[in-house]
Amino acid sequence: MSDYDTVSAEVEHEEEIPEDHPRYQDLLTRHRIENGVEKGITHLQGMHAEGRGSAFDYLLGEETIPSADEAERVAAAHLLLADQPVLSINGNVAALVPSEMVDLADATGADLEVNLFNRTPERIEAIASHLREHGAEDVKGLEADARIPRLDHQRAKVDADGIYDADVVVVPLEDGDRAEALEEMGKTEIVIDLNPLSRSPQVADVPIVDNIIRAVPNMTDHARDLADAGEADLETVVEEFDREAALEAAEERIRNGL
């Protein structure tokens, strides 16, 4: 038995997971989701979503493939060009990348909005305070004073001055119905999802097929890199993007390892 076999998913602190473990990112992700469930941030269903994501990440080689890196740069350009960009935070996102989402919001001038599939006042409040503990100053999603058309009552709730009014939205690990409804509202939609065949990346203007743990810090790096670019240059980055090619490249990697 190797030393690594003794690293269980039940470590108390993530520092106990050795960084040179061959499955380090996967163990870290699992640990953060479990912690999220314990803290009342993540719904139990979030564990199933994570399991699906983990299988796709394994097939992708657990790395940011070149087409995903390009999509992350394009997403950064969209956010910098936007009038009202919003980053949507659900229970998995809050558990996995709270400070990374705060950094992305800072780098792009975007708002953070809590937006849950299984919405309860307790979870909304738990996620908002979790984000504040990780440096967020203003967290939207608590008002829930507007509705996304054509969705049932609970899943439709958003802030009028947040997602409802936004021109560009980042919706990581989003449910397909809501991604479709946001697309129908005419928003520029950036989806982070490890499954290129899932409905959310299929309807996105910018599908990012990458683990959110890698994708968000990389989007922030691209945003910082593009911070001094002029509007025309940012628009060129956006216009040159081919969403179909990005989806195909991810599927090709997953199916054939290419």
Instruction: Point out which residues bind ligand ATP (CB under 6 A).
Output: 29, 49-50, 52-53, 56, 96, 173, 175-176, 192-195, 198-200, 211-213
Residue 258 to residue 21: CA distance in whole angstroms: 25
- Residue 144 or 213 with smaller CB distance to ligand ATP: 213
- Residue 176 or 217 with smaller CB distance to ligand ATP: 176
Residue 230 Cβ vs ligand ATP, minimum distance, rounded to whole Å? 32
Q: Which residue is nearest to ligand ATP (CB)?
A: 53
- Residue 62 or 235 with smaller CB distance to ligand ATP: 62
Residue 195 Cβ vs ligand ATP, minimum distance, rounded to whole Å? 4
* 89, 115 contact by CB (below 8 A): yes
Residue 243 Cβ vs ligand ATP, minimum distance, rounded to whole Å? 16
Residue 227 Cβ vs ligand ATP, minimum distance, rounded to whole Å? 26
- Residue 108 or 198 with smaller CB distance to ligand ATP: 198
Q: What angle do CA 101, 103, 104 make, to 5 degrees?
A: 65
- Residue 53 or 141 with smaller CB distance to ligand ATP: 53
Taking only Cα atoms into account, the Rg of the chain, rounded to an integer number of angstroms, comes to 18
* 246, 70 contact by CB (below 8 A): yes
**In 10 A of CB 137, how many CB atoms?**
10
Residue 175 Cβ vs ligand ATP, minimum distance, rounded to whole Å? 4
The contacts of residue 242 (CB under 8 Å, 6+ apart) are none
